[in-house]
Amino acid sequence: MEIRIQSIHFDASEKLQQFIDKKVSKLDKYCDNISTAEVSLKVVKPETSENKDVSIRVVVPNNEFFVNKVKDTFEEGVDDCVEALIKQLIKYKEKVRG
């Protein structure tokens, strides 16, 4: 699986990128034919709490899944997005098997 990280209007730290790689690569356990995962990070103006916008798009053959969360930190957003994607991938796998 190829993981692409795009940070809009800021530079994501090496630590944040490693965190995202670690979390997103867990999705391979739930669906083995994921080709790409695109992670988009954005800081929403004005500077308030819950201004970190995280969206993840996962591409599998003949389908794609998308999740978007706005949280206090990028780490929280990535965690929540990955959890939501796990649910979607499990549902998708059950549907394909059925």
Q: What are phi and psi of 59, to 5 degrees?
A: -110, 125
d(CA 22, CA 10): 21
Class at the top of the CATH hierarchy for domain 2-97: alpha beta
- Any alpha helices (H) in 1-98, and if so which ranges? 14-25, 74-97
Confidence of residue 98 (pLDDT cuts 50, 70, 90): confident
The pTM (predicted TM-score) of the whole model is 0.93
Mean pLDDT, all residues of the chain: 94
